[in-house]
A and B are shown apart, each in its own frame.
Chain A
Amino acid sequence: AQTVTQSQPEMSVQEAETVTLSCTYDTSESDYYLFWYKQPPSRQMILVIRQEAYKQQNATENRFSVNFQKAAKSFSLKISDSQLGDAAMYFCAYRSARMGGATNKLIFGTGTLLAVQP
């Protein structure tokens, strides 16, 4: 079974600085997708960034980028120029690329609570 581990329960960053959130995962599959979701106090789950395992190039979305190391099964999120609105719980999630049913489910880590200091 696949697992996702986030070893940093809490992180803090100064406004305008850069922070990296760690995520490791375990799987025997070769094709899968990885996601970072943001959950602000409103509880809404917001997709931040997605990475396809077959792509070697790291995904980027504006100030958010990932460092995807497939061999090491590592998927870290880098937030540049941190803003107060980035404060939230961040979840790393895994999804199999196999089609059908429960294989489409997302497997979540336990989350990292990010505080942004003004």
Chain B
Amino acid sequence: NAGVTQTPKFRILKIGQSMTLQCTQDMNHNYMYWYRQDPGMGLKLIYYSVGAGITDKGEVPNGYNVSRSTTEDFPLRLELAAPSQTSVYFCASGPGTVYEQYFGPGTRLTVT
């Protein structure tokens, strides 16, 4: 199993540009999450999904959108990039019960 994969690993965007961060998991997990990690901080939840077709906002959803058309994929969309969105983005998945979440390797995004 590849686990949770994320692409790209690094990206530089100009202010106002758009992009999609890809996330795929092959563990058949129902729950998927997007977190962001700002310098010197822990991770904060952006959006989450409890299954295909179901998504909801986390703590810091402004400026982002998600979709979940399949169990495997959970892309995160930035529509109008802003410097405040400079961060490391982690995707995670889990079976949604007592077990821990499994994280992807992260995407480092810089908006200038």
Interface residues, chain A, with chain B CB atoms under 8 Å away: 4, 9, 33, 35, 42-45, 47, 50, 52, 91, 93, 97, 99-102, 104-111
Closest A residue to B90 by CB, please name it.
A45
**A interface footprint on B94-107 (CB within 8 Å = 1, 0 otherwise):** 10111011010110
Q: Which of A52, A105, A109, A111 contacts B48 (CB 8 A)?
A: A105
Is B96's CB under 8 angstroms from A42's CB?
no
Is A101's CB under 8 angstroms from B105's CB?
no
* B96: min CB distance to chain A, Å: 6
Chain A residues whose CB sits within 8 angstroms of the CB of B58 once the complex forms? 102, 105
Q: Which of B31, B44, B94, B103 contacts A45 (CB 8 A)?
A: B103
Q: What's the A-B contact tally at a CB cutoff of 8 Å?
A: 59
The 22 listed contacts between A and B (C-beta, < 8 Å) are A9-B40, A33-B98, A43-B105, A43-B106, A44-B105, A44-B106, A45-B92, A45-B103, A50-B100, A91-B43, A93-B42, A99-B97, A102-B45, A102-B48, A102-B58, A104-B31, A106-B43, A106-B45, A107-B42, A109-B42, A111-B40, A111-B41
Chain B residues whose CB sits within 8 angstroms of the CB of A43 once the complex forms? 88, 105-106, 108
